[in-house]
Amino acid sequence: MSESPAYCASCREAYAQEGAAPPCEGCVHEPPALMDENIDAWYLWRHIQTQVRTSFAGIVGMDYGAARQVADVLGIDFDIAMLHKIQTLETVLLSEVR
């Protein structure tokens, strides 16, 4: 998924040179639709994805103290459901950086 933006840009450029529209719909690199119940989690994630704990080995995980403070500023309820959603995104982040 981290290669998707670069792939999409090169695909669009190639089709533009041919004067055609790229076949984005149905492409494996097309991002999934965001379900309504996940909008707040995604909005929060976009604001906290730099709030990570690190060690000499690299990224260890999210700084949940900072995440809670950012959620408060954004007016997002940091309840157990939100925690699970952020932890899921954190798992993806950690799998991509390791």
- H/E stretch holding 69 reads helix 64-74
pLDDT for 17-74, tens place per residue? 999 999 888 888 777 889 999 999 999 999 999 999 999 999 999 999 999 999 999 9
Whole-prediction pTM: 0.71
pLDDT for 70-98, tens place per residue? 999 999 999 999 999 999 999 999 998 88
Backbone angles phi, psi at 6, to 5 degrees: -70, -40
Helices (H) and strands (E) in the chain, counts: 4, 2
